Amino acid sequence: MTDKIFLNDKLVNIEEGRISVGDSGFLYGAGLFETMRAYNGVVFRLDDHLDRLLTSAKALFFEHSYSKQYLIESVNKVLEANNLTDARIRLTLSAGAFSQAQAKPNPTLLITATKLQPYPAEYYKKGVLVVLCPTRQNTSDPTCGHKTTSYLSRMLALRQAHEKKAAEALWFTTDGRLAEGCISNVFLVKDSKLFTPKTNTPVLPGIARKTVCELAIANKIELVGKDLTIDDLLGANEVFITNVIMQVMPVAGIEKHNVGDGKPGTITKKIQEHYDEFAKNNCRGKK
């Protein structure tokens, strides 16, 4: 079966997809994207993903005519057309192509879906290694906190991490505060309290991050959003990272430093269980 994609208002075969050579997403990285996960044919927190996308589009002056309901329907069309249940979905919205005849750009909307390839079970059982990114996050960058397609610096840092047999690289800001991973948000546990950098650090307001914060509050785990330093990171009893594909990933080591006893901790395991249950309850499948 030929894979189907949704491109500029219609489903087409993947090999038929065409994007303008003048598209500003291709030429300048002027685009936004969402990576989403479907369980049982239902996209996890789809509303939240689209709210984040549309908020960023407004903040970064991306002109488009897409409503949230239209985007919801379009995402579901791609899942159904490819007969996918457990899937990884990517929605990309670029600022589009400019021409001399147009006063405004013509945005490009692309939605793709593939069968989910989960992380190895061993990562969750034993925890993963992370490293510290040598590059710093510039807090004055207007794209910080938005999921833009200008992602090369993150991909380079992640590649360097993988070369060191690490799953992720953690970024700090230019003024020395812990921010986030290349593709994840980060949480620390110290003295049974859960800590995470504030969104105005700035960090991407992750959908999995939001879910973990809500689950912590609902299950009476004390949650603190604050500025965190390298000392906080290395002094933590537990560390875990999150995104909607990896869900809740325990961190066993940071560079050559063991986190706690080098195994997933008690609160991390509790959060994993609560997250799994939440995802199961919110994505029960279509009848």
Domain positions in the chain: 4-115, 121-282
Tell me the fold of 4-115.
Answer: D-amino Acid Aminotransferase; Chain A, domain 1 (3.30.470)
pLDDT above 90: percentage of residues in the chain: 92
- The predicted-structure confidence for 26-62, as pLDDT tens digits, reads as follows 999 999 999 999 999 999 999 999 999 999 999 999 9
Give residue 96's pLDDT.
Answer: 87
Residue 101 has pLDDT above 70, yes or no: no
Q: What are phi and psi of 168, to 5 degrees?
A: -160, 160
Query: What's the pLDDT score for residue 1?
Result: 55
CATH number of 121-282: 3.20.10.10
Same fold, 4-115 and 121-282: no
For the cut 90, the answer to whether the pLDDT of residue 14 exceeds it is yes
CA distance 34 to 47: 12
DSSP string, 53-95: HHHHHHHTT------HHHHHHHHHHHHHHTT-SSEEEEEEEEE
287 pLDDT exceeds 50? no
Closest CA to 116 of 50, 53, 36, 48: 36
Q: Does position 100 have pLDDT exceeding 60, yes or no?
A: no
- 96 φψ region: left (φ > 0), alpha (ψ -120 to 50), beta (else): left
Q: Which of 178, 199, 179, 195 is nearest to 187 (CA)?
A: 195
For tokens 């685009």, what's the residue? Answer: 31
* pTM greater than 0.85: yes
142 and 60 in contact (C-beta within 8 Å)?
A: yes
Q: At what angle do helices 68-81 and 46-59 cross, to 10 degrees?
A: 130
